[in-house]
Structure 1
Amino acid sequence: MQFLIIHSVFSLNLTNEYLNHKCLLNQGKYNFGSEYEYNLNSIIDYIRTSPYGVGSTKVSRGNTTANFAQIIVQCRGDSYGNKISFTCFDTAISGFRKRCPNNKGGMIWYDQCFLYVSTVDVELPGNTIYKNIFSMHNPKKVRGDTKLFANRAIDFLSELTLKLQKPNNILHLPVFYAAGEKKVGKNTLYAMVQCLDVSLDCTSCLKGSITKLFKKNDIKQGARVLGSNCFVRYELYPFLRS
């Protein structure tokens, strides 16, 4: 038996709505009672009883390709408190099993957390997988000078990218997070950026995601871009814990 464990402690905000999922069909399915299922359930039980929380966790188990299982969990950087982070993890596991039944691999995104299940050892940080990136936009449009708003929002998000901070605990998976607020005309802009590493690839992931927020001329009051490597979001209302 082999466990690879890297932790950090975060938690949740006020809501945890389902956002998106992707079943990794190329990794196949497992049978009930198989060694893979045993390894997967062992990881889930281990994380649930971890004293460190599940805010940013990577756990692996299995010695062969056929039975190797790995779970990666990320919670949003403003999260705190073990109790809510465990709730986030349980919600993600339940959602993954419902939407990808018996799949060995898959990803699922919630407002507060991201779950990655895989049969291969996912080395993080790694190269950005752009096919896993998707965007969501607030239906309300920005009023006034939309071009000026977009330019200022891009500048602010770029500033936050330069301020990414790594947790201090050496056991933490290297999740980098920065957030803040800034006056833009009569509005207050709230924003966050998050990444697994501050390597050039992470910076590239964030820059590409920021550009994707304002790809169309129809500028919205809020938007987010999520993936398996980085996350970006802005709103005209506070959505983060202080």
Structure 2
Amino acid sequence: MALLMKNQRLFFFFLVCLTISTLGAHSELLYNHCEKNFTQNDILQSNIGNLLIDMAAQSTLRRYAISSFGGGGYEAVYGIARCDGDMIHTACSACITGAEHDILSICPGSGAVHAWREKCYLHYDVTNFVGKWERTYASVWRSTTKAEDPKAFEQGVAELMGEVMAEAAGAPDSTLKYKSGESSLKGYCDGNVTIYGMAQCTQDLCESECNLCLESSLEVMGKFCGGNVGCRIFGSGCVLRYEIYEFLTVYHTPGVEAPAPAPSVVAG
């Protein structure tokens, strides 16, 4: 079910035949990568613990976090956390906290960790990466269903993703670098088809770095998802997604999270 490929320092995990039960587990860890293992170092371990606590607290207020502990010394650690732009604050904090519990169990003694849940992402490292687009890890989920008119569909996807990417990258630094949208392909085959899309960068990236990340992800999307009716790119610095169904969470009552959205990838 999974194929691991390496291309220009980007790693892509293809999961093209996922079941609904697998995709529904949106509260669980999807992917993680642990590296830079260290031996007993109480100061560094304490800094990592403080960093994770601070990022969980920040995400409750802002749905993202940028933090560091250690004052730039040998035991310094840096971190970011990001939740999808459609999440409410409490759900974001729960997602980040869950990711922290996951990595403390799975990656003990690691000086660098990437952790992806379906709706949030967490990364810390003993090397300062904040503000830099890190072309390291990504995963691609794609639908196994092909569009009936691939050329028209791909054009519609390109136009929509171009719009949401530009607005996400150009968003003010004080807000989430996130944008969603939809586009209707009128007269498509036997009827109209609506494409839903979103783009988001981690908050630490400036507009130019965010653009680089999104454009690279769009290139991957075109290469590996061309003609597929759904595609999702998880990355270290940004995420892209389009579907032919409404996948964003809708909150009907303030403070109350709506039921989980439909599966992230349409099984063919």
Q: Structures share a fold, TM > 0.5?
A: yes
Query: How far 1:146 sits from its partner (Å)?
Result: 1.2
| 1:176-211 Cα distance to aligned partner (Å, 9 max, x none) | 111011112322111101124453332122122112
Comparing 67-76 with 92-101, greater Cα deviation is found at 92-101
Q: Which AA in structure 2 matches 1:132?
A: Y
Query: How far 1:70 sits from its partner (Å)?
Result: 2.2
Q: Which AA in structure 1 matches 2:95?
A: C
3-state SS of paired residue (1:63): coil
Is 1:20 matched with 2:26?
Answer: no
Which residue in the other structure is 1:29 paired with?
38
| 1:30-59 Cα distance to aligned partner (Å, 9 max, x none) | 52x711111222223334455953621011
**TM-score normalised by L of structure 1:** 0.79
Which residue in the other structure is 1:11 paired with?
none
3-state SS of paired residue (1:190): strand
| 1:109-154 Cα distance to aligned partner (Å, 9 max, x none) | 1111110011122221x2x332323322123x12311122112101
3-state SS of paired residue (2:123): strand
- Whether the 8 Å CA contact 1:132–1:227 is kept in 2: the answer is yes
Which residue in the other structure is 2:180 paired with?
179
Question: Which of these residues, 117, 135, 146, is aligned with residue 142 of structure 1?
Answer: 146
Is 1:228 matched with 2:236?
Answer: yes
Correspondences of 1:66-105 after superposition (within 5 Å) = 66-81=74-89, 83-105=90-112
- Residue 17 to residue 149, structure 1, CA distance change in 2 (3 Å): farther
Which residue in the other structure is 1:133 paired with?
138
- Whether the 8 Å CA contact 1:65–1:119 is kept in 2: the answer is no
Query: How far 1:18 sits from its partner (Å)?
Result: 2.9
Comparing 207-216 with 153-162, greater Cα deviation is found at 207-216
- Whether the 8 Å CA contact 1:53–1:85 is kept in 2: the answer is no
- Whether the 8 Å CA contact 1:70–1:117 is kept in 2: the answer is yes
Question: Which of these residues, 118, 123, 127, is aligned with residue 116 of structure 1?
Answer: 123
Is 1:153 matched with 2:160?
Answer: no
% identical aligned pairs: 21
Aligned equivalents of 1:106 and 1:195: distance in 2? 18
Structure 1 spans left out of the alignment, 5+ residues? 1-13
Q: Which AA in structure 2 matches 1:63?
A: G
Aligned equivalents of 1:100 and 1:15: distance in 2? 20
Q: Over aligned residue pairs, what C-alpha RMSD do you find?
A: 2.5
Structure 2 spans left out of the alignment, 5+ residues? 1-24, 251-268
3-state SS of paired residue (2:61): coil
